[in-house]
Structure 1
Amino acid sequence: MSDKHSGLPSLPLRLSAMQVIGLRDPDEGDWSRLRTLQYAEVHKVSPTRMVAHGIAASLVVVLFHSVVAPWVLGAWLLSVIAALWNVSRIDHKMAEINRRGVQRSDFNRHALAVAGCSLPWCAALLFFVPLGTVAEHYAMWALAIMLISGSAATMSSAPVATVIFDLIVSAAAVASFVATGDYAFAAATVIYSTGIVGASLRSARIYLSSCIAEAGVAEKDEVVSLLLREFEEKESDWLWQVDTNRRIRAASPRFAFALGAEPSAVEGESFIKLIAGSTWEKGEFPRSLHQLAEKLKRREHFSNLLVQVELEGGRRWWELSGTPMHDDSGTYVGFRGVGSDVTEQRDRDEKIAYLARYDTLTGLPNRLMLTEALGDAMRHADQWRSRCAFLMIDLDRFKAVNDSLGHQIGDRLLAKVSKRLASVITEDEQVGRLGGDEFAVVLRDASDKGRVERLADAIIDALSQPYQVDNHTLFIGASVGSAIGPRDGSSVEMLMRNADLALYRAKDEGGNEHFSYEPSMHADAEERRKLESALRDAIGNQELELNFQPVVNAKTETVVSFEALLRWNSAEHGCISPGKFIPLAEDTRLIVPIGEWVLHEACREAARWPSDIKVAVNVSGEQLLEPNFSAAVVRALADTGLPANRLEIEVTESVFLRDGRIARQTLEEIMALGCSIALDDFGTGYSSLGYLRTLRFSTIKVDRSFVQGASQDNQESLAIIRAVVAMARSLDMSTTAEGVEDAEQAALIRELGCTKIQGYYFGRPMGAVEARSLVVKGRSRAA
């Protein structure tokens, strides 16, 4: 039994003779606790001792009054009374030891007091006996034996008193017989006293064992009471009991409170009926109630059984444990158990389970639940030899909304997207959110080949309609990639990966498209992975190089600048088109270190040109979002010695879509250094008039598509070029026409008013040595 609950020191079960007497500490347990058990009843035998000693002392006076002087007998009688008073006084002090426990000083004091009681009888045996007759000697010995036996009979609870009194008085009796030469009685006395001591120790051991057992039972009762009190103090827990007819018996207040009634009102009522509530009349019992009834019927022990309970206050959830009861004859008499209301805990668990399987923003199933649904769909398809499908959906232009209007608007937009998706799907389909702006749909049955295509088109059409969010009219689109199971994948992971590859192809094609998975996509993805790996090592392996394409003055046709163009000649893959590796570098953010290398190399080469020739370097949006990009420009200029006014940074309109504020700030820092900024591919993307108003671009580059259109007498292209030239003049900006391939196009562009021309007619992209040679030759002709 744990002392934690009882508050009592542990008690040993086996003790040696010295440990029983109290002259040695027990191997286990507490000495003070054992002595307390022994001496708790000592004060009750004190009157018996006084009466016995008083009768014996009176008989001694009668025996020796004729041979011992009266004053001697009187003094002896006073010593007996004094010894008895002293030991009685100490005995009565022992009445309080249950509260304070026996100390070593108490034990020693009581042993000395008992020894004091034995001294007058030793004196009588040693000094009175020699004066009397043999008969008086034997009579005195009989009185001593009577007191020894009486002590052994009454003081079994404190054996040290019997041992001390027995040994001291017996020693005096033996000495008196030896003095008179009666050795037989001396030996008999030794044998008798030894037997008395042994019997006293056995009796003391039995007494102490019974005390230990009683204390153990008391401790158990105390622990049980404590546990019951602790249990009852918990507001949500209670005790319950039913009879053989499952009717409530001995209803505890807590149990009645849980039922919403008084104990007297529920006593004798059917347990199942009470907790069934309104379902009792309908007969539509929850499954948990059937389980409880079955346990009670079969008389089976149960533990932590979760039961749905219908009460007047509403539905609750109880956790019940119970065990069958039997009387002394083994007859079943009912059930007894404990219960607790776990409604709040269950609600929390259900909420946690919901959060684990549903997206909190949209309320749609999350990735975990979609994965489980797809696994179930694939098992169904395998069982019935049918098909299932998985569609991955990515929102087009959502990031632009998020970055420009904030995440709160973006979250509200996602909520509206989720509602539109839910309105498109049928009962056989499940839509969910994978994360960010990615959604997915699981088709359990995709046997109809056209169903996937129709669903993807419906999703794209629904999500492409305008949205009204906080007085903002927003336009986004959706790209969809699909994979059919088990054709496109035999596992959930494979099918999801292949749908993702199809989605990537849809995004790569400009978005707002649906692509189904094709095996070639996996090969493309593998090629992309290998290209990415090779691109990471391209700088270190010196596989990158710069080409330079000349830009000439439209009137004089003299070279005024070069545009630096990146080329990659891979040792493993050969020459890779910029249209292939530049987007890869931007997607993987390798464009940041590569772009820094390009900037440094372009400045280093331009430093060797004449002082009036500029170099133009293309910069992606990923680079502009780097917080230290302007510092990289400063380092490139400082390391190469190129003046800042000879460096022109070319950007496209797309750099303002992700985070226009950071892009503008970075470009303003670059212009503050003295560098010029050119806006490339003007008119092919989004509206740029706002950017032209807020940033002082030095050059606007007209895209080659307009140049080609104008050469074919396309009126729209001609109108756009004229409008750009007029706008640039009014803003004091120059214009560069790209893609001029012959003399006629050059003459047309010159006529339309463009200030600079770039194209194959004036020079293809060339190496650094050729570019330097071109400048030198041009200067020689001019001279």
Structure 2
Amino acid sequence: MSALRAQQIDAVRGRTIIQLLSILVGGVAIGLDNLNRQPLWMVGGYVAAVALVCGLRFFMRESRRNAWIYGAQGGTKREIALGLVTALVLTAPLLFFAWSGDRDATENAWIILAGMMAVYGFATLEVPILYAAVMPAVGVISALALTLVGNPTGAIAVLAFTFIGLGAIIKHGHDFIRYELVGRRAEEQTETVSLLLREFEDAGSDWLWQVDANRRITKASPRFAHAVGRDPSELEGLSILQLLAGEHWSTGKFPPALHDLANRLNRKESFASLLVPVALDERTRWWELSASPSYDSSGVFIGFRGVGSDVTEQRASADRIAHLARFDALTGLPNRLYLNETLAGALEQAAAWRRRCAFIMIDLDRFKAVNDTLGHPIGDRLLAQVAARMKQFGTESVIAGRLGGDEFGVVLREIDGVDTVERLGQRIIDVVSRPYEIDQHTLYVGASLGYAVGPRDGATVEALTRNADLALYRSKDQGGGVINSYEPTLHDQARERREIEIELRSALGRDEFMVHYQPVVHSDGRVDGFEALLRWNSKKLGPVSPVKFIPVAEDTRLIGPIGEWVLQTACHEAARWPSNTKVAVNVSAEQLSSPGFVASVMKALAHSGIAPNRLELEVTESVFLREVSGAMATLDQVRALGVKLVLDDFGTGYSSLGYLRMGQFSTIKVDRSFVQGALKGARESIAIVRAVVALADSLEMSTTAEGVENQEEADAIVALGCKKLQGYHFGRPMSAEDAFAIFDGGARRIAVGG
């Protein structure tokens, strides 16, 4: 019954303020009605007495909480005594007015008290004692006052309404208790029915189990016995904990889940879907148990009833799913989630014990070329072999995993210093860079590494990962095969890159680009043409080097519209030059992968009116490494228009004679590094230049030496057989007007020979 009493109290507690306000408002209203009839001190004293009574009632109820009515001995007596005091205080004016013969004041006061009684009765519906302690006394005194002033009819009505209201409230209180009892019994019956129904669900996979107050099995169901592998009679009277513990019962070393179950049984607490390991026949099964405490009709605890099911297979599947959630399916290495969790733990330990940890990010060099040329299956097998090599670095304090794609990560839980990271990083580069044999292919990939030290370079997983990524970005910029540590200046570089990207997106619309032209001359000094070079003068950033903004444009795929603008502008300007003067435009792999590139070339030729053979498109070997078939198909279409193709920076990348055969280039450009090497007498550079020249001659191609800066270099390169030259010695990149001026003045030659 204590629970029902608590529910009664909870039902009216929320209306305590309404109860007290009804009393207070009634007292204040009576005071205001007599403000002009009685002395001010008398009115004020009355209102103060009412307020004091309200405060006292509030204090006693809040300080005693549930004990203020039922919970503590004498609570009901205190409530009745306090109610009588409240009634006497409230009705004191009625007795005074009746004694003095003031009928109007008496009836006015009664009207106010009648309204107060109605509100108070509503606020105490569920607990009749609250109404009975105050309002009968108010009614009786009010009836007496009305009788004294000669209103017996009103007195009789007051008594009738008072006790009718009291009866109604008592009935409502009883109905409330009866309703709650019915609801509780219905809940218990529903729970029992649900437990019984679950026994027959899932094709008999669940069973009913029951224990007494001493936690011993009673009425074992056949399905329960079958799950245990025993006869139902053998289970009768056996401790449920002893059954579940198996061989652990004698040692007392129970799994934590069994301790949890025992505690819930001791607390007579309902539980659902509790996973418990069960030792049966020297193997562990997993059961899912649900149960509720049972009571007899007198409320005495008699045990537990519940259902159980064997979820061993489901748990095994869940374990496999959990493994897949933290390990990479292709390589078997820990995945990004696992590495992040490990790194978070390492950072916590480092902060707690004033140690240092580290995170290394690894990106494979030249992996995309393997994927694009040999296909994804070969690429996946290559990643698996890389992962197998990465596993050899794993220890208790070093966790290697795969972040995704061709990116890997290594968490070092504790380091003595950055030398530890540097040594491990160099070992990773050396091991990963060894050749791989896959399906008769010998493959070479390298590794670029960047690392950050925690908590020095970041106190959170996000910060440390971001900073290691910035260091990795620097390693990639340096050509790969190196390891770099995070430095605060990398944030400045990243910020600068973001600013460039933001401004670059609107630079074309703001007309901030311009094209400069650098002359390309024949060995006899005749101007063969110009290479179109993009320049950017940002209104916010000022002049920005192409070395900085071209990679950003390629990464953000802005190079497409920018490159098309350069192509249109260069062809338009070339239309002003002599008809045998060429213009060369650099084309990126991103442009060649665009479906509309060939159309943009046709548009540039048509709008400018220049002959197709005057336009040269310069591409580098990276175009073929990224996407062979697509690049070649695009270049074939362009060449079919009559446009010439130039292979730039030949010999500096992954040079292959196959590129020359596939591309059918008209010109090969010799990189400046070979020009300088030949001038210094380096045998390798001289041999390479001669070989390129001989190869070009045999394929009926021309050669252009880049970066010729003085007469000595020009003489040396001409002597080696290069037919065309380009460099500062013949002219720096110049504006369109300056380029046109070379022809406008009649000069068609630039001095070459010494």
- The answer to whether the 8 A contact 1:558-1:778 is kept is no
More deviation in 545-554 or 711-720?
Answer: 711-720
Give the match for residue 591 of structure 1: 559
Q: 1:2-27: CA deviations, max 9, x gaps?
A: xxxxxxxxxxxxxxxxxxxxxxxxxx
Which amino acid is 1:514 matched to?
I
Counterpart position of 1:763: 731
Distance verdict in 2 for CA 1:462–1:254, change over 3 Å: same
Q: Which residue of the partner structure matches residue 719 of structure 1? A: 687
Q: 1: CA distance between counterparts of 2:705 and 2:717?
A: 7
The aligned counterpart of 2:240 is 271
Is this contact kept in 2: 1:534–1:570, CA < 8 A? yes
Given residue 479 of structure 1, which amino acid in structure 2 is its aligned partner? S
Counterpart of 1:232 in 2: which secondary structure?
coil
Query: RMSD of the TM alignment (CA)?
Result: 2.8
Q: Is the Cα–Cα contact under 8 Å of residues 232 and 254 in structure 1 kept in the other structure?
A: no
Is 2:422 aligned against 1:448?
Answer: no
Measure how far apart 1:302 and its partner are.
3.2
Q: Does 1:285 align with 2:244?
A: no
Q: Which amino acid aligns with 1:605?
A: E
Letter paired with 1:351 = R
**Distance (whole Å) between structure 2 residues aligned to residue 252 and residue 535 of structure 1:** 76
Post-superposition shift, 1:226? 9.2
Residues 315-464 of structure 1 mapped to structure 2, 5 A cutoff = 315-326=284-295, 333-464=302-433
Shift of 1:336: 2.5
Higher alpha-carbon deviation: 317-326 or 502-511: 317-326
Matches within 5 A, 1:390-539: 390-539=359-508
Residues 350 and 226 of structure 1: CA distance in aligned 2, closer, same or farther (over 3 Å): closer
Residue identity matched to 1:621: A
Which amino acid in the other structure matches residue 548 of structure 1? Answer: Y
Aligned partners of 1:383 and 1:479: how far apart in 2?
A: 32
Identity between Structure 1 and Structure 2 (%): 60
Question: Residue deviations 1:616-643, cap 9 Å, x none?
Answer: 1111112112222112211211222222
Equivalents in 1 of 2:384, 2:330: separation in Å?
A: 7
Out of 655, 661, 667, which is 2:623 matched to? 655
Q: Find the counterpart in structure 1 of residue 709 from structure 2.
A: 741
User: Which residue, 695, 709, 715 being the options, matches 2:663?
Assistant: 695
Query: Partners of 2:589 and 2:301 in 1: how far apart?
Result: 82
The residue identity in structure 2 corresponding to 1:404 is: T
TM-score, length of structure 1 as denominator length: 0.68
Instruction: Work out whether residues 346 and 413 of structure 2, in 8 Å CA contact, stay in contact via their aligned partners in 1.
Output: yes
Secondary structure at the residue paired with 1:440? strand
> In 1, are the aligned partners of 2:393 and 2:400 still within 8 Å (CA)?
no
Where structure 1 has 5 or more consecutive residues not aligned to the other structure, the ranges are: 1-216
Distance 1:574 1:402 in 2: 40
Which is further off, 436-445 or 690-699?
A: 436-445
Letter paired with 1:367: R
1:707 aligns with 675
Q: Quote the residue 1:567 is aligned against.
A: 535
Is the partner of 1:603 in helix, strand or coil?
A: helix
Residues 440-499 of structure 1 show CA distances to partners (whole Å, capped at 9, x for unaligned) of: 222222243421212212222221122223332221111111111222123322222111
Confirm whether residue 622 of structure 1 aligns to residue 587 of structure 2: no
Deviation at 1:713, TM superposition (A): 2.2
Determine the structure 1 residue equivalent to 2:71: none
Say whether 1:635 aligns with 2:599: no
Cα distance between partner residues in 1 of 2:222 and 2:743:
103
Q: How does 1:53-64 map to 2 (within 5 A)?
A: none
When residues 708 and 223 of structure 1 are mapped into structure 2, their CA distance, relative to the original with a 3 A threshold, is closer
Moved more, 591-600 or 432-441: 432-441
Q: Give the alignment of 1:70-469 within 5 angstroms.
A: 228=196, 231-234=199-202, 235-243=204-212, 246-280=215-249, 284-297=253-266, 299-312=268-281, 314-326=283-295, 333-469=302-438
Distance 1:223 1:740 in 2: 92
Partner of 2:562, secondary structure, is helix
- Paired letter, 1:613: T
SS of match in other structure, 2:284: strand
- In the TM superposition, residue 341 of structure 1 has moved relative to its aligned partner by 2.3
Counterpart Cα distance in 1 of 2:442 and 2:588: 29
Q: Which moved more, 1:434-443 or 1:321-330?
A: 321-330
3-state SS in 1 of match to 2:563: helix
Q: 1:226 and 1:376, CA in 2 relative to 1: closer, same or farther beyond 3 A?
A: closer
Aligned AA (1:601): T
Deviations 1:306-338 (A, max 9, x none): 111232394322121234445566665543221
Contact 2:527 2:749 in 1 (8 A): no
What is the one-letter code of the residue matched to 1:667? L
The alpha-carbon distance between structure 1 residues 223 and 617, as it changes in their structure 2 partners (threshold 3 A), is: closer
Please report how far the alpha carbon of residue 225 of structure 1 lies from its aligned counterpart in structure 2 after TM superposition: 6.9
Distance in 1, matches of 2:672 and 2:747, equals 28
Q: Tell me, in whole angstroms, the C-alpha distance in 2 between the residues paired with 1:664 and 1:428.
A: 49
Cα distance in 2, alignment partners of residues 435 and 668 from structure 1 = 35
- Which residue of structure 1 lines up, in the alignment, with residue 158 of structure 2? none
Aligned to 1:149: none
The answer for unaligned runs of 5 or more in structure 2 is 1-184
Match of 1:773 among 713, 721, 741: 741
Query: Which residue identity does 2:603 align to in structure 1?
Result: R
Partner of 2:507: helix, strand, or coil?
Answer: coil
Counterpart CA distance in 2 for 1:451 and 1:507 is 22
Q: Is the 8 A contact 1:502 1:521 kept in 2?
A: yes
Give the structure with higher Rg (CA).
Answer: 1
Amino acid corresponding to residue 578 of structure 1 in structure 2: P
Tell me which amino acid in the other structure corresponds to 1:612.
Answer: N
- 1:682 Cα deviation (Å)? 1.0
Identify if the C-alpha distance between structure 1 residues 539 and 226 changes in structure 2 by more than 3 Å, giving closer, same or farther: closer
Q: Partners of 1:668 and 1:427 in 2: how far apart?
A: 55
Query: Does the aligned pair in 2 maintain the 1:424–1:458 contact within 8 Å?
Result: no
Deviation at 1:276, TM superposition (A): 3.1
Contact 1:250 1:267 in 2 (8 A): yes
Which of 765-774 and 467-476 deviates more? 467-476
CA distance in 2, matches of 1:475, 1:606: 43
**What secondary structure does 1:338 align onto?**
strand
CA distance in structure 1 between the aligned counterparts of 2:256 and 2:198, rounded to whole angstroms: 32
The 3-state SS of whatever aligns with 2:668 is strand
Name the aligned partner's letter for residue 706 of structure 1: F
Contact map agreement 1:240 1:255 (CA 8 A) in 2: yes
SS of 1:713's partner is: coil
Cα distance in 1 between the residues matched to 2:617 and 2:201: 77
1:517–1:322: structure 2 CA closer, same or farther, 3 Å change rule?
A: same
- Aligned equivalents of 2:319, 2:377: Cα separation in 1: 28
Q: d(CA) in 1 for partners of 2:684 and 2:350?
A: 54
Quickly say closer, same or farther: Cα 1:634–1:533, change in 2 above 3 A.
same
Aligned residues: 566
Residue aligning to 1:30: none
TM-score (norm 2): 0.70
**651-660 or 471-480: which moved more?**
471-480
Deviation by residue 1:659-691 (Cα, 9 ceiling, x = unmatched): 111111111111011101011111111122011
Q: 1:314 and 1:745 mapped to 2: Cα distance?
A: 83
Q: 1:614 to 1:449 in 2, by over 3 A?
A: closer
- Indicate the SS of the match to 2:345: helix
Q: What is the match of residue 722 of structure 2?
A: 754
- Alpha carbons of structure 1 residues 408 and 639: separation in structure 2 relative to 1, 3 Å: same
- Among 669, 675, 679, the residue aligned to 2:647: 679
**Partner residue in 2 for 1:544:** 513
